[in-house]
Amino acid sequence: MAKGTAAEDTAAENTAAEDTAPRTAGPDEADLRERLGRLSLDEKVGLLTGAGFWTLHPIEKIGLASLVLSDGPNGIRGTSWDGHDPSLLFPNPTALAATWDPGLAEATGWLNGAQARDKGVHVQLAPTVNLHRTPFGGRHFENYSEDPLLASRIAAGFVRGVQSAGVAATVKHFVGNDSETDRMSYDARIDDRTLDELYLRPFEEAARAEPAGAGAWAVMAAYNQVNGATMTENRPLLTGLLKERWGFDGVVVSDWTAVRSTEAAALGGTDLEMPGLPWSPWRDKLVAAVRDGRVPEELIDDKVLRVLRLAARVGALDGVPGPPPVTTPDDARERLRALASTGTVLLRNNGTLPLRAARGVALIGPNAVRFSPQGGGSAHVDPAHVVTPYEGLRRALGEDAEITVHSGVYPHARLAPLPLALMTDPETGEPGARADFLDAAGGVLLTDHRRAARILSFTDDIPEGTRQVVIRTTVTPAASGLHTFAAAGIGEFELRVGPDIAQVRTLSADGGTMVESLMRPPEHRAEIDLPAGRAVPVELRHTLAEEPFAIAFGLGYQEPHLPEDEELAAAVEAARTAETAVVIVGTHDDVESEGFDRTSLALPGRQDELVAAVAAANPRTVVVVNAGAPVLMPWRDDVAAVLWAWLPGQEGGDAIADVITGAAEPGGRLPTTFPVTETGVLSPVPGPDGTLEYSEGTAIGYRHYAPEDVAYPFGHGLGYTTWEYESMTAAGGTAEVTVRNTGNRRGREIVQCYASGPALPVRLAGFAAAEAGPGETITVPIELDPRLDGPFRLHAGRSIADLVLDVEIG
């Protein structure tokens, strides 16, 4: 293979399966049983409920270490949210699926596993493999695709990768958690065929033992119900299907607090109740249920064996050789950067991209100023840094290029967190803030340096007796004018800014779930005139009502800024006089998050108006969309180029610049259909009786939309070269497609096969990534979906809407 640019080379190398070490051999079952035999009933049941939010109880007498679990799927957060141990922040999982490359998914899984090993984590709570049933879904960004075959292959690759590093992958959320509204209770009504063909498939391929599946060592049972049974109690699905039919020998862990019963959950098939809060319905209640004969002890034994098997696999059992050592490689940043550009999708291009030798760029848009590297919720990790699009473009274009920056509009409902660059810890003088945990008498129980003016702590991290938590910092404004500070959280707050502001407020949740109030809490804002460069003390004191299960609050900030109309006009003026306008629009984690669904697919605020006005002022307007899930793009045909950058992780700014300048190929293709409007888009909202009817059956995504409702079809994505599809043959479950790179630069193509027939609406049948230099012809083998039963017509092309070759099968 000829060599391309550095970024392309790294992407190509990433596609090779990373780890040459042998996979952990199956544990010695007799040894596990012998250890089990030494445990009392109390010890056994004790192991099945979390010791803390992210840990299990160790049992010294059988050589069992405390197992440590961590979210995923954006990286490995570890066991706390305090930012002390930064994590690699990956591009969001839909961006990974947009590479259409199971080998790259495996390499990405391995890199997650390597981080987990460095952080002492045995179990990663990823991948998230629910389907894109509706783009309104709040966790759409965490999921791979609307298509079960693409989702399955990416999921299986990711699981293999994580586990090749000696870390358990946890396939979640089993099953039917395809949206967030009322997720704790809704009953997804899904017929058997739809479950089998669509929603179960990624779980099956990720969790079945190898070689039929990727052999995941854990599966997470979801919060919701499916067909009348809550998933942690759903015996037909957890026991009948997952454990018995699929032969899954790993651990079924509950989603956090999803176990709401003692017997029903134990009998249903949940093995591990997390996170083991003081009021857990297991522990002594489960011991009593066993003693009373309501839960057979053999069932407890099976659950414990599963936990021990997992422990053996991840090297947490004394005397069982652990997996070979693995550590985060030195080039992790380059890998994340290449992954982000490989997943980036060029939706439209009139030839303006790649930008050659740009000298003057008006960088515009709210996401240029407040970039979104990740979505919100439990997937959140704290990276050591985030490369912004400005930094990326500056590096790529050089110091001589003129780059102006304008937000253009202010679409955010909440203020951004107070930036690290403005904060000084009053105790140490380091950049950052101080967090003090105080008892009822004001005594300091814990004082801690933080790199963010935000606290998110769960039971394990909150010192006993905490009654107040105070965030203190010294802010040195970068500009003179009216600064806005905000207290964000729920409960009692006192906000102090310098000598002039001391405001006490009670903020209450505006409906919504607990998670929603953690993710997007109410705010109280205060404005103050401050000169640049003069340091002021800022303090936010939170008084707790009772012994809390979680503490979540923080300081928001907005620097002096023009009124929105003036800001928009200034942005348009900058565009008019620049050679090229690059407009970065998108969403934010108060729009795309766990805990709630989106209520609109439109870009928040006046972003559409901004794009239209900039495009009218400069014909060389390149729009970069920084979002995890589809948004409506009414201006899409009026701009020079549209680049879909996803939520591209910590190296996102460099990856965007790589693609804009052509240092890297925009390698991605859409793993999900982008609709024109919201009309006809499936709703995530359950009915008043709490049921969420999947009455569309298998007709989701491209199987659902009428052609005129599609803005960009499934599989779509342009590159910087052109391809001709020359021929296709198919035999024995494999198609061979010959394509020629007809352009003048090296490129990456995703060759896609689809099947159709009189009783078979067109669907994805197989795909493979191909790379070729200019003029080169290559033949790409494509493994077809073994579930397809002939006769059918097989098509090949560049997207579901651009099929150029076909052959008759069977």
Which residues lie near ligand BGC (CB under 6 A)?
71, 125, 172, 255-256, 378, 594
Minimum Å distance from CB 69 to ligand BGC? 8
Q: Among residues 127 and 269, whose Cβ is nearest to ligand BGC?
A: 127
Q: How far apart are CA 122 and CA 272, in angstroms?
A: 15
Q: How far is residue 6 CA from its own chain's centroid? A: 27
Q: Among residues 255 and 651, whose Cβ is nearest to ligand BGC?
A: 255
Q: Among residues 130 and 342, whose Cβ is nearest to ligand BGC?
A: 130
Minimum Å distance from CB 178 to ligand BGC? 13
Minimum Å distance from CB 255 to ligand BGC? 5
Q: Which residues pair with 423 in a beta bridge?
A: 475
Minimum Å distance from CB 590 to ligand BGC? 17
Alpha-helical (H) ranges within 252-296 are 263-268, 284-291
Q: Among residues 64 and 125, whose Cβ is nearest to ligand BGC?
A: 125
ω before 287 within 30° of 0 (cis)?
no
Closest CA to 91 of 184, 198, 14: 14
Question: Which segments of 420-566 are extended strands (E)?
Answer: 423-424, 433-438, 444-450, 454-458, 468-475, 481-489, 491-497, 501-507, 523-530, 536-543, 550-558
For residue 605, which amino acid is it? G
Q: Among residues 128 and 799, whose Cβ is nearest to ligand BGC?
A: 128
Catalytic residue among 178, 255, 425, 608: 255
3-state secondary structure of 541: strand
Q: Among residues 170 and 618, whose Cβ is nearest to ligand BGC?
A: 170
Closest CA to 154 of 229, 92, 197: 92
Q: Among residues 276 and 757, whose Cβ is nearest to ligand BGC?
A: 276
Burial of 542 (0-12, 13-18, 19+ CB in 10 A): buried
Crossing angle for the helix pair 102-118 and 332-343, nearest 10 degrees? 150
Q: What are phi and psi of 535, to 5 degrees?
A: -70, 135
Minimum Å distance from CB 195 to ligand BGC? 20
Closest CA to 74 of 383, 333, 329: 383
Q: How many CA atoms lie within 13 A of 660 on its CB side?
A: 33
Minimum Å distance from CB 139 to ligand BGC? 8
- The two three-digit tokens of residue 552, written as one number: 């979540």
Minimum Å distance from CB 657 to ligand BGC? 32
101 is catalytic: no
Q: How far apart are CA 88 and CA 335, in angstroms?
A: 11
Q: Among residues 223 and 485, whose Cβ is nearest to ligand BGC?
A: 223
Minimum Å distance from CB 272 to ligand BGC? 13
ω before 431 within 30° of 0 (cis)?
no
CB atoms within 10 A of CB 654: 28
Q: Among residues 125 and 312, whose Cβ is nearest to ligand BGC?
A: 125
**Dihedral over alpha carbons 456, 178, 69, 287 (to 10 degrees):** 100
Q: What are phi and psi of 790, to 5 degrees?
A: -70, 175
- For the chain, the residue count is 810
Q: Among residues 128 and 239, whose Cβ is nearest to ligand BGC?
A: 128
Minimum Å distance from CB 126 to ligand BGC? 8
Q: How far apart are CA 685 and CA 136, in angstroms?
A: 9
Minimum Å distance from CB 595 to ligand BGC? 8
Q: How far apart are CA 736 and CA 19, in angstroms?
A: 28
Residue whose C-beta lies closest to ligand BGC: 378
Q: How far is residue 742 CA from its own chain's centroid? A: 36
List of residues 6+ apart from 40 with CB closer than 8 A? none
Residues classed as catalytic: 255
